Every structure is written in structure tokens, then in C-alpha cells.
């Protein structure tokens, strides 16, 4: 599933290719994904892209008619850019294609179809039902230790579940919640309200650090993707604990025959990975 760093990478790829160009044609190969495609989608033809933005895991393509095309990649969605020197050959699960006036095609492919395409007035986005309830962006200046401390001071749920709550902060998905808690040395099962101020400070900085690092990794692979017209949005990660059950955590010095290495537990129906030594 694409997480925030992947979506940010997609947005940066689009930001290099689309602004100032007009949408010449919208090809719809089906009428819906998770929800029906908006009827007004055909009306975006002829309009220029003014800017690319992101809110949580939504990709926002702002147009010169004061409308915003909203895309979500769901569980399995991806966007491909095909430049005019390489002919676009349709593939299975290519559900929507934006053909730009310079010959670039933006192809939305989504085998499992949990993704979404919507349109909204740009000025109303903050109040839109997708966004109105969302907490701050994790890399925004509003996401501070003081903010998090205030939000979790009465919360009895596990800290991992708390930071994954989109109303508290957006874009900290399952992978990066585990990685950030490891980096901060906090047991993911701890009751949120039991965290001490110093731990909250460490956690906020760890969340920002792991996300920035992942975005940077995406950025370095993005160059290759754009050059080869490849898939935007997925790249190789180096994880410290995620998906490493029974293995040494990053920088581990303990005897894993005794500790069992990285543990996997289930929290809120999702897998959590943590080091029983460093996150004790
Ligand atoms: Zn360890």
C-alpha cells in the first residue's frame, strides 16, 4: 500500500511534468473505482494544471478553472507518466488516462480498485468531507511535541494506534509508525497517555525523520522512474524493524537466540514489529 512518502514522491513527479500544461483528453476505461468517477470529469478537458499539492495520501491536481482533481491510490494504485517519445500502450487495470497537450500521458493503474478519483472546488478543499476531519501533516510546523502531548494526554489506547489515527496526525501509516517507535525506543503497546514529555519529543522527531528519509529515498529513485517512464510511487526501502520478524533490528547488539529478535504482534488488525530490547 502506498504510504505518505510514496504519495509525496508521486506528487513531486507530477509537479515536474504537469503544471502549465493543459489536459487535452480524459480517457475513462471504466466508470468507477471505489466510488463512481465524477460526471464532471469530462469538463476538465482544455484546462491547465496550475499546481500539484498533497493532503494526507490524496494527490491534488489544481486546475485553472478553480477545480481540483483529487486522486487516491488506495491499496494498489500507481501513476505512470508516458512522455510523447514513448508510445503509451494500454495495460490491464489502466482505468483513467490524462493526455496532456505536450503528449505526456498520466496513467492511473489500480488492480484492486480501492483508489479514488474526485473533483472539488479548490477553495472548498479544507471543508471537503475527505479533509475536514484530518489532523496536521506530520512534516508541518503545527505537528509539535506540545501538540501531540495535548492530544494523547487522556488517551488509553496503544501509542502506535494513536499516531496512526488520521484525526491526530495524517500519513503515519503502519510501516512508518513501527519504524518511528523503534527510532524513538518506545514500546508500541504503551498506553498513549503514559508517554513522558521527553519520549513524546523523541517520537515527533522520529516520525519526521523516518518520513523525510523515505521521501529522500523516493526522490533519488524518482529520477530513474521519470527517465524510464516507469512506475511512480514505489521504491525500495531499508527498514529497521518492519517485516523483520525473528531477525536482528537495525544496529542490534543483543543475542537474538535469547531475545527472539524482532517481534511481530497484531494491533488494530495490523502487524506491529518491534525490538523487545530497544523498545522495552
Ligand atoms: Zn534489537
Q: For residue range 219-252, list pLDDT tens digits in order.
A: 655 444 443 344 444 445 678 999 899 999 988 8
User: Mean pLDDT for the chain?
Assistant: 90
The dihedrals phi and psi of 216, each to the nearest 5 degrees, come to -65, -40
Q: Alpha helices, DSSP H only, in the chain? A: 4-17, 145-152, 159-163, 174-184, 197-227, 256-259
Range ranked top by mean pLDDT from 78-92, 111-125, 193-207, 244-258? 193-207
Over residues 61-82, the mean pLDDT reads 92
Any residues with CB less than 8 A from the CB of 153 and at least 6 apart, and which? 193
pLDDT tens string 43-56:
999 999 999 999 99
Per annotation, catalytic residue among 2, 5, 138, 188: 2
| Rounded distance from Cα 187 to ligand 1 centre (Å) | 12
Say whether 3 is catalytic.
yes
Q: Which residues of 135-155 are buried (b: 16+ CB within 10 A; e: fewer)?
A: bbbbeeeebebebbbebbeeb
Q: Would you state the pLDDT for residue 231?
A: 46
Q: How many CA atoms lie within 13 A of 264 on its CB side?
A: 11
Q: Would you state the pLDDT for residue 220?
A: 56
| Rounded distance from Cα 256 to ligand 1 centre (Å) | 8
Say whether 231 is catalytic.
no
130: helix, strand or coil: coil
Per annotation, catalytic residue among 245, 248, 270, 276: 270
> What cell does 28 get?
475513462
Per annotation, catalytic residue among 54, 57, 151, 278: 57
pTM: 0.89
Say whether 55 is catalytic.
no
158: helix, strand or coil: strand
| Short-list 199, 195, 271, 269, CA closest to 239 | 271
| Rounded distance from Cα 278 to ligand 1 centre (Å) | 6
Which part of the chain has CATH 1.10.8.50?
A: 145-274
Q: Would you state the pLDDT for residue 225?
A: 40
Architecture of the 145-274 domain: Orthogonal Bundle (1.10)
- In the beta sheet, which residues pair with residue 79? 108, 232
Over residues 126-138, the mean pLDDT reads 97
Q: What percent of the chain has pLDDT over 70?
A: 93
Q: Would you state the pLDDT for residue 85?
A: 74
Which part of the chain has CATH 3.20.190.10?
A: 4-127
| Rounded distance from Cα 248 to ligand 1 centre (Å) | 6
Look at 1 and 265; give whichever has higher pLDDT. 265
From 38-47, 82-91, 201-210, 240-249, the region with the lowest mean pLDDT = 82-91
Sign of the dihedral through C-alpha 257, 181, 130, 237: negative
Q: Would you state the pLDDT for residue 239?
A: 84
> 4-127: which CATH number, 3.20.190.10, 3.30.160.270, 3.30.1330.10, 1.10.230.10?
3.20.190.10
Over residues 72-87, the mean pLDDT reads 83
CA dihedral 84, 229, 68, 234 (to 10 degrees): 170
| Short-list 108, 111, 104, 64, CA closest to 88 | 104
| Rounded distance from Cα 145 to ligand 1 centre (Å) | 26
Amino acid at each position: 500500500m502506498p504510504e505518505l512518502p510514496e504519495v509525496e514522491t508521486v506528487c513531486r513527479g507530477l509537479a515536474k511534468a504537469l503544471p502549465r500544461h493543459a489536459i487535452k483528453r480524459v480517457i475513462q476505461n471504466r466508470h468507477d473505482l471505489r466510488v463512481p468517477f465524477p460526471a464532471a470529469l469530462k469538463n476538465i478537458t482544455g484546462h491547465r494544471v496550475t499546481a500539484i499539492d498533497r493532503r494526507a495520501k490524496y494527490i491534488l491536481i489544481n486546475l485553472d478553472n478553480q477545480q481540483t482533481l483529487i486522486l487516491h491510490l488506495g491499496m494498489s494504485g500507481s501513476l505512470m507518466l508516458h512522455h510523447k517519445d514513448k508510445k503509451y500502450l494500454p495495460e490491464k487495470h489502466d482505468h483513467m488516462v490524462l493526455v496532456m497537450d505536450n503528449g505526456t500521458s498520466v496513467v492511473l493503474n489500480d488492480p484492486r480498485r480501492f483508489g479514488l478519483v474526485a473533483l472539488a472546488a479548490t477553495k472548498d478543499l479544507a471543508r471537503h468531507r475527505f479533509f475536514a476531519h484530518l489532523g496536521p501533516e506530520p512534516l508541518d510546523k503545527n505537528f509539535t511535541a506540545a501538540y501531540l502531548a495535548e492530544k494523547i494526554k487522556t488517551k488509553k489506547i496503544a501509542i502506535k494506534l494513536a499516531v496512526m489515527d488520521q484525526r491526530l496526525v495524517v500519513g503515519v501509516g503502519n510501516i512508518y509508525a513501527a519504524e518511528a517507535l523503534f527510532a524513538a525506543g518506545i514500546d508500541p503497546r504503551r498506553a498513549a497517555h503514559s508517554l513522558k514529555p521527553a519520549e513524546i519529543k523523541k517520537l515527533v522527531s522520529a516520525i519526521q525523520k523516518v518520513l523525510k528519509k523515505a521521501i529522500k529515498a523516493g526522490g533519488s529513485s524518482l529520477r530513474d522512474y521519470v527517465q524510464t517512464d516507469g512506475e511512480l510511487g514505489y521504491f525500495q526501502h531499508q527498514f529497521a524493524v518492519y517485516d523483520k520478524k525473528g531477525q536482528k533490528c537495525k544496529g542490534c547488539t543483543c543475542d537474538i537466540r535469547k531475545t527472539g529478535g524482532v517481534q511481530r504482534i497484531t494491533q488494530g488488525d495490523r502487524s506491529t514489529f518491534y525490538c523487545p530490547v530497544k523498545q522495552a
